[in-house]
Structure 1
Amino acid sequence: MLIAMNVRIAFSTVGIAAVLLTAPLPGQTGASTPTVTNAAVVPNPWTQLMTKAAAHAHAHGAPTPLLSPVDHSVVRMKSTPADAPLVPVADLQAKGIRVVPWTTNDPEAMRAVIRTGVDGLISDRPDLLQKVLAEERAARPEDAKLKRFVVSAHRGGRGLRPENTLPSFESGLDQLSTELETDTGVSTDHVSLIWHDQFFNPQACRKADGSEYTIANRIYLRDISSTEAQKTFICDKLHFGADQKNDPSLSPVTVAFSAKEGRPSIYSPTYVAELFRFVRFYVEYYSVGPGKGTPHAEERAANARTVRFNIETKVLPDRLPPAVAGAQDPKVPAEMYKNQTLPPQAFVDALAGIILKERMEGRAAVQSFDFRTLQLIEEQQPKIQTFYLTDNYKLLSSDFVPAGLRLN
């Protein structure tokens, strides 16, 4: 016996149309001719990007890249545009693509993001994230994903210490973060200097000799050597809330390490090779050094032995799309929105070079909004993991993205 069938168009979370055959709806009788409505199919932009990115990585023998989207593209928040599609977390994970959003600091927002099933979260407050994660693990002890959840300390955890400094990384380790997130530029001596902006920002840094330092006489990372940067600046200014502290007594490992290395200040700028040495020193401090026997010493040393590094290259594309250019603050000099760094290859040479020299390719990943850098890493140093940082999904169709990854 033939059963009359109706055809409906349904959409999955990635926007791919599927045809579902169903029995007649109530009140319908007799056979009917199936019809298909020509509905526009709009693939999810994050799926499109990461499918192309994964294909490029695999073609060069590199591991599957990760997606690191802004948190409000994973769950709807006040800052999420009404028409913006959300990141299809489960669908990407089914393709082997892990998702680690940035940067969530509110506990309830953390909880909402965690419950989407993401693989980790980047936060300025790893202490709060650990607390929320502990509650989620207690509520769902069978959830294996929560057991391996990545707690990434953004800029070392700038909610507690001045950002991207050894004290901030020490604090991130103290909070048992499983990953330290940071940023790099390239200095005149081709060193991967750790700093977020293209220049040492006077909001966070001051001159060691007490002379005036402002936006007007800013110094770009590309125009100073790593040695001169450490002699010139002390980046201990507090500007990120009441819980951010710069008391040296809170950073005993940095104090001891700086004395050993002859650093001018515990808040002198640092660089990637020094960060690697510092983490090794941290392990020794709590396993066989002065910190042995103190509360949490064994736990801290064990975590630091395996902590990962998520290192961002702070390089802007040569051409910024209108969506970015239109957001420029008219009070800020236009040149500050232009790329004042070295080309992508210089970043790859400096950063990948030190990662390989220190044999950290198993623990260090490179992340960037500039996908040219990531593709060079995948092509030239395929042992190093890549993270694709994203913000506004509309940028994925612009000149901001290399042609091979750009969305149609």
Structure 2
Amino acid sequence: MRISIFSIIALFMINSVNAQTFDFEGHRGCRGLMPENTIPAFKKALDLGVTTLELDVCISKDHQVVVSHEPYMNSLFCSKPDGSPVTKAEEKSLNLYTMTYDEIKKYDSGLRGNVLYPEQQKLATYKPLLKDMIAACETYIKEHKLKPVKYNIEIKSEEQEYGISQPKTVEEFSDLVYKEIIKQLPPERVILQSFDFNILKHWNLQFKSKKYKKVTLSALVEREGVEPSFEKLGFLPDIFSPYYKQLTVGKVKMCHDKGVKVVPWTVNDVDAMKEMKEIGVDGLISDYPDRFVK
């Protein structure tokens, strides 16, 4: 009988620890439910109990850090100041890096909704500045007595876009983002992720030289394997973040054996969420925080 009781207690403790340490991230706030990368979306994600807010950042003409997945106005959901939809033909010409933030803020990001996410609520909103987004969320957390969350900030960077839709160098892009983060958040609550390994390499060097305080680094990949990614990066990231359909038990174990956590993206199906937990991932990123809660 004692063994049975102790086993039950041990199992309960293990499950409790796993529940506390599993990192559930709201993708672009909660894109499936609210306009992506907007303050209402992040507040909704907080209400749903995410442990991390995942978001993307780009840079405006006047060097402001803007919360946006694309460095342009996406025709799927953006509207011009006169209320007319941004068309597919003109979206790339509305380059955020050539627009001041005052110009960017006049474009709506939520009234049209998003046909790819029919559950998404339609409301008037806009692309916020990173500093305003953090301030709004931190205030919301305090007012509603919520647990502090982490911020998983993706620097949207591509080598072929250097100097076109983003700063010419990763140093300039990174410095702008780092200065905004460190003003408002302790480094232990920050994850910095990117598909552009030049960005991650730069941040790692800044940690070593003590120019940046250490934050968690996450290597975003789509189809690349574990070993090729680490070899290309040149160091072990804190987190390996692949497209979830590319993950296997073996890849998760390979990362864990090296002390690297695994947090796949973007897991929206409930069965897929269960599968990811079963193969041992340390967290997941989803457009639908409500589905994970259920």
Whether TM-score is above 0.5 comes out as yes
177, 192, 197: which one pairs with 1:366? 192
Do structure 1's residue 311 and structure 2's residue 153 form an aligned pair? yes
User: Do the aligned residues in 2 keep the contact of 1:315 with 1:339 (CA within 8 Å)?
Assistant: no
Can you give the 5+ residue segments of structure 1 that lack an aligned partner in the other structure?
1-139, 248-264, 287-300, 319-334
| One-letter code aligned to 2:165 | Q
Give the equivalent residue in structure 1 for 2:172.
Answer: 346
Do structure 1's residue 191 and structure 2's residue 64 form an aligned pair? yes
Give the equivalent residue in structure 2 for 1:182.
Answer: 55
C-alpha spacing 1:394/1:177, structure 2 compared with 1 (3 Å): closer
Give the equivalent residue in structure 2 for 1:276.
Answer: 134
Distance 2:159 2:12 in 1: 44
User: Which structure has the higher relative contact order (CA within 8 Å, separation 6+)?
Assistant: 2
User: Do the aligned residues in 1 keep the contact of 2:26 with 2:50 (CA within 8 Å)?
Assistant: yes
CA deviation string 1:9-62 (max 9, x = no partner): xxxxxxxxxxxxxxxxxxxxxxxxxxxxxxxxxxxxxxxxxxxxxxxxxxxxxx
User: Do the aligned residues in 2 keep the contact of 1:180 with 1:309 (CA within 8 Å)?
Assistant: yes
Distance 1:195 1:366 in 2: 15
1:284 offset after TM fit, Å?
A: 4.3
Distance 1:152 1:363 in 2: 13
Alignment of 1:378-393 (within 5 A): 378-380=204-206, 381-393=212-224
| One-letter code aligned to 1:157 | C
Give the equivalent residue in structure 2 for 1:223.
Answer: 98
C-alpha spacing 1:396/1:362, structure 2 compared with 1 (3 Å): same
Alignment of 1:320-335 (within 5 A): none
C-alpha spacing 1:224/1:173, structure 2 compared with 1 (3 Å): same
Distance 2:58 2:21 in 1: 30
Alignment of 1:9-408 (within 5 A): 141-143=12-14, 144-218=17-91, 219-236=94-111, 237-246=113-122, 265=124, 267-286=125-144, 301-303=145-147, 306-318=148-160, 340-342=165-167, 343-380=169-206, 381-393=212-224, 401=232, 404=234
CA deviation string 1:244-287 (max 9, x = no partner): 2125xxxxxxxxxxxxxxxxx5x11112101111012213443x
C-alpha spacing 1:166/1:309, structure 2 compared with 1 (3 Å): same
C-alpha spacing 1:359/1:171, structure 2 compared with 1 (3 Å): closer
Please identify the structure whose Cα radius of gyration is greater. 1
The TM-score, its normalising length taken from structure 2, stands at 0.65
Give the equivalent residue in structure 2 for 1:45.
Answer: none
Identity, % of aligned positions = 27
| One-letter code aligned to 1:238 | N
CA deviation string 1:109-159 (max 9, x = no partner): xxxxxxxxxxxxxxxxxxxxxxxxxxxxxxx53322232211100110111
Give the equivalent residue in structure 1 for 2:209.
Answer: none
SS in 1 for 2:182: helix
SS in 2 for 1:367: strand
The TM-score, its normalising length taken from structure 1, stands at 0.48
Aligned residues: 214
Distance 1:202 1:271 in 2: 20
- RMSD value over aligned CA atoms? 2.8
